Structure formats: structure tokens, C-alpha cells
Amino acid sequence: MELEHLFNGSALNAVDAKGRLSVPAFIRGVIERRTDAKAVVLGAHECDPCLTAYDRGYGRILHAENERRRLLEEGQGDPAQHFARARRTFGITEDVPYDTSGRIILPPMMRRKGRIEELALFVGVGGTFEIWNPHLALESGDDDLRDLAAYRLEEKGIAP
């Protein structure tokens, strides 16, 4: 399956005490071009301390990718890896609708998984987007991500 619309861009938004958070317009625009459902699926990132997120239809692509990896790994090592990946991809996720103003409520489990506190850094990564605690992004091994987090914090008048 080829994706016609990709997530590009970044934004830093506040998270209130109840976990309410505005989904940036660049994210909502892609979701609404891909599907009629005004919702995001949130899950733990495979290797970084952040959340990965996508529209409901993207799950088909993830299933195909998991199956491709399972077939490649078949006979080479531990089959438990496939099931752990499948649980992370489909079991440890939350489907979260957004309201007419584009706000979601971050579920407590996802907030915990992503270590999201009072700020959320949205980063488009093509087929999906990431949601970072910007202070964790500042500690990343990725120079560009660190620069992006510092810039977005400074833009809001917050010292990195």
C-alpha cells in the first residue's frame, strides 16, 4: 500500500493536568485526507522513548510490515520476537478521537509510555508521527532532533 499523504513538520504544544492536548493542524490535515475518522492511534515507539502515532487505516501497513519481518526472521532465532512486536504494535495502543477543535486526551498509559509531561513535541516522520517529551528529545542521540526540540522550546520562550 502506498501512502499519498505524509506527515511533515513539527510543533510543540502544551499538555494540561488532565492530559488534554491540541493535535497540530499539519497532523489533522493528513489524517483527514487519509480517512474519515477524526482519531489518532497512539503506541509506544519501537526503540525511542516517545510515542508513535498514525491514523486508523495505517494499521494495515503495520500488519503487513510485521508479517514481512516474521517471514524474514522465520527459522532465525526466537519466534517470541514476532509476538512481542505484534503486542507492541496492536495491543499496547490506544485509539483516541479528537474533538472539533483538534484536542485529544492523552490516555494515562500512553502518557506514561511516552513520558509526556506538560509539553508534547510532535514530529512528522512520513507515514507516522512521533510525540516526544521535548526534554527527552534534547537528550536524544539524534543531533537534528535535539536541535528541533531546542528550537521549539526557545520559540515558546522556554529555556532548553
pLDDT tens across 51-104, in order?
999 998 888 887 888 788 877 777 776 777 777 777 887 888 999 999 999 999
| pLDDT, mean of residues 103-130 | 96
Cell numbers placing 37 = 475518522
Q: How far is CA 152 from CA 72, 75, 92, 159, in A?
A: 40, 46, 29, 10
pLDDT tens across 17-60, in order?
999 999 999 999 999 999 889 999 999 998 999 999 999 888 88
User: Is residue 2 scored above 60 in pLDDT?
Assistant: no
Beta bridge partners of 42: 53, 94
Q: Length of the chain, please?
A: 160
Cβ proximity of 133 and 113 under 8 Å? no
C-alpha atoms less than 13 angstroms from C-alpha of 119 in its C-beta half-sphere = 18
